[in-house]
Amino acid sequence: MSTSVRLRLVVAVTALALALSGCGGMLTGGPAEAGQKKIAVLLYSQGFEFMVALNDGIKAEAARLGVDVVVLDAREDSAKQTQQIEDQLARGVDGILLSPNNSEELVPGVQKINAAHTPVVTVDSVVAGAEVNASVAYDNVGAGRMAAEYLASLMNGTGTVLEYQGAKGAYHAIRRGDGFTEGIGQSPGISVIGRDSEWTATQALSLTVDNLTANPSISGMFSHNDEMVRGIVSGEKQVGRGAVVGQPGHIPLVGVDGTPLALQRVRDGSQDATMDQDPYTMGALALRTLIEILDGKQVPKQQLTEPKLITRANVDDPNLWGNKFQP
């Protein structure tokens, strides 16, 4: 997710678990059995469905491999995450699996991991300017390209697309935008209006109302994530452009993430498609990669999980993470 603002969860159970742990941010973990590898899983947040599912994938793989993991939630605070790195190094963990809150702000923390000669693998994002043993992420460029190609087909290769971009300078926004530009470039009859939407539904709603009012000829929409689509759909309805798939006046709309709400919108026709990015697979692959490094095996420096186009034709596939997720 990327990434990224994703759909926030208000999960009372999580809050209770944090309080009971007595360790501001510790979600899971216990005393390691003799001989077990000790892994610190440092997540930038657990406030999004994607990150909760990522954690579930990591924990399931840890159980399968017989690995002891402690999962810490930085709550979108780079300073807190850097302190967690220091604390886990002092604890003597064998390896660190890191989902960085900010690619640049976590450089000093990763440099401390390097100085301790502790293996580190990043998951879902990267750290620019520090050395990691491997990274596991989503093929954001491929997702953007695939979304563009599908949207162009819905538009019959002509018209104007409103592109809802993620936060300026954000890794996921840049990569998804690059892929979309590449893909839409294959349809010279389509022009693109890019708007910085900060990943939020609130910003997307405002932009939708303003842009559809000023430019009613907009005939396609691409959102860098599915959270912004909530605002897009609301904005369309506000200006009387809320026709669903199959109805006259419908504006084709494609998002990215494959969240549970996005799948429901695909079913009801308010969203044409979304690009699946499976956090369960990503989390399991990232932990498995770290364990292979600790076992002295050679691993690829970068591994990307593949995007998958979700439409009405396959939205009920039980293997989609958005259908498996249980809040």
At residue 1, does pLDDT exceed 60? no
pLDDT tens string 112-130 = 999 999 999 999 999 988 9
Phi-psi region of 22 (alpha: psi -120 to 50; beta: other; left: phi over 0): left
- Cβ 160 vs Cβ 220: under 8 Å: yes
Q: Which residue has the higher pLDDT, 310 or 104?
A: 310
Tokens 């990215």, residue located: 256
Name residues whose C-beta falls within 8 Å of residue 80's C-beta, 6 or more positions apart in sequence.
25, 74
pLDDT value at position 25? 53
Angle between helices 201-214 and 227-238 (to 10 degrees): 40
Two domains, one topology: 12-137+279-304 and 140-276: yes
The full set of domain ranges for the chain reads 12-137+279-304, 140-276
pLDDT tens string 3-18 = 444 444 433 334 333 3
pLDDT value at position 48? 85
Around Cβ 98, how many Cβ atoms within 10 Å? 29
Q: Which amino acid is at 260?
A: P
Report the CATH fold assignment for 12-137+279-304: Rossmann fold (3.40.50)
Which pLDDT band holds residue 169 (cuts at 50, 70, 90)?
confident
- Cβ 144 vs Cβ 176: under 8 Å: yes
- In the chain, what is the straight-line distance between the N-terminal and C-terminal CA atoms, in Å? 17
Please provide residue 97's backbone torsions phi and psi, each rounded to the nearest 5 degrees: -105, 115
Q: Which helix (H) or strand (E) covers residue 230, if one does?
A: helix 227-238
> Residue 315: helix, strand or coil by DSSP?
coil
- pTM listed for this prediction: 0.85
Name residues whose C-beta falls within 8 Å of residue 178's C-beta, 6 or more positions apart in sequence.
141, 144
Q: Which residue has the higher pLDDT, 47 or 306?
A: 306
Q: How many residues does the chain have?
A: 327
At residue 164, does pLDDT exceed 80? yes
pLDDT tens string 141-155 = 999 999 999 999 999
Instruction: Tell me the mean pLDDT in the region 152-166.
Output: 98
| Strands, E assignment, the chain | 26-28, 38-43, 68-73, 95-99, 120-123, 134-138, 159-165, 190-196, 220-223, 253-257, 273-276, 302-305, 308-310
pLDDT value at position 120? 99
pLDDT value at position 32? 54
Distance CA 316, CA 227 (A): 20
User: Which CATH architecture fits 140-276?
Assistant: 3-Layer(aba) Sandwich (3.40)
- Cβ 47 vs Cβ 54: under 8 Å: no
Between the alpha carbon of residue 216 and those of residues 100, 204, 239, 296, the distances in Å are: 40, 16, 10, 59
pLDDT tens string 21-71 = 334 455 555 555 657 999 999 999 998 899 999 999 999 999 999 999 999
Tokens (6 digits) for 223: 């959102």
